[in-house]
Amino acid sequence: MTEQNEQITIAMAKGRLAEQTMELMEGMGIDVSPLREKSRKLVFESADGKYRYIMVKPSDVPTYVDHGVADVGIVGKDTLMEENRPLYEMLDLGFGKCSICVCGYAKQEPLKKAHIRVATKYTGIAGQVFATRGSSIEIIKLNGSVELGPVIGLSDVILDIVESGATLKANGLSVIEEICTCSARLGVNRVSLKTKEKSIRPLIDGLRKQIEMRKDEA
């Protein structure tokens, strides 16, 4: 392939982000039909050979892009923050919106404690958030059902993504502090952006146009 039509490898995580990304790409006329087939395969290729898709865990998307195995990755901003890889964050795709929040029993004012136990799967973000605060911090790594932390006394608060807040409410918890808002992002390998720019730029511009069209239709 020439530089103008070099194959672009895109890392995506299975689930809603991938589905919404595929819709945008279909709007650009890009073939994503192999991804819609029922298969246990993890690597797919468009019919015209222009795109290769690899399906990975969300937390692994930045790793594949950073190492150049993928040129482009679609992943949540929360994952980019946690993994802290040196990627070019080129585009906010506008979906998958959520907030990173500190949650717990607000009436107990847990953030005023001298020693705060924080349960989270986002240990990197938690470390950054609490690093400059005066309290002593203990970060407890959990991979699921983080809300259980304060409920059973494992932690004083949790740091997690919040969408509707329904799970928090069901467990008697509430948002104490919102750290930031997140959404799906397009991350690009730094070397790939230079060596495959003529192939990657049209993808970025096309996705941007699709996002703007959707905003106009809303």
The pLDDT of residue 10 is 97
Q: In Å, how far are 29, 52, 68 from 2, measured between CA atoms?
A: 21, 16, 19
With tokens 């190492």, the residue in question is: 67
pLDDT (average), residues 180-206:
96
Same domain, 7 and 92: yes
Same domain, 136 and 173: yes
**Token pair of 118 as six digits:** 């924080």
Same domain, 193 and 161: no
Residue 3 has pLDDT above 50, yes or no: no
DSSP 13-52: ETTHHHHHHHHHHHHTT---HHHHS----SEEE-TTSSEE
pLDDT (average), residues 149-157:
97
185 near 79, Cβ under 8 Å? no
Same domain, 56 and 12: yes
Same domain, 112 and 189: no
Question: pLDDT category, 145, cuts 50, 70, 90?
Answer: very high
Question: pLDDT category, 218, cuts 50, 70, 90?
Answer: low
The pLDDT of residue 2 is 46
Same domain, 8 and 85: yes
At 209, which CATH number?
Answer: 3.40.190.10
Helix/strand/coil for 178: strand
Q: Is 163 exposed, middle or buried (0-12, 13-18, 19+ CB in 10 A)?
A: exposed
pLDDT (average), residues 115-144:
93
Tell which wins on pLDDT, 17 or 215: 17
Using alpha carbons only, what angle is made at residue 168 by residues 165 and 172, rounded to the nearest 5 degrees?
Answer: 135
Question: pLDDT category, 89, cuts 50, 70, 90?
Answer: very high
Same domain, 92 and 22: yes
How many separate domains does the chain show? Answer: 2
The pLDDT of residue 24 is 94
DSSP 90-146: EEE---S-EEEEEEE-GGG-GGGSSEEEEEES-HHHHHHHHTTSSSEEEEEE-SS-T
Residue 91 has pLDDT above 70, yes or no: yes
**Token pair of 20 as six digits:** 């919404």
Mean pLDDT of the chain: 93
Same domain, 85 and 187: yes
Range of the domain at 69: 3-96+183-217
The pLDDT of residue 216 is 76
pLDDT (average), residues 24-48:
90
The pLDDT of residue 138 is 96
The pLDDT of residue 1 is 46
Q: Model-level pTM?
A: 0.89
Same domain, 151 and 126: yes
The pLDDT of residue 5 is 62
**Token pair of 203 as six digits:** 């993808």
Same domain, 84 and 137: no
Same domain, 36 and 92: yes
Same domain, 91 and 187: yes
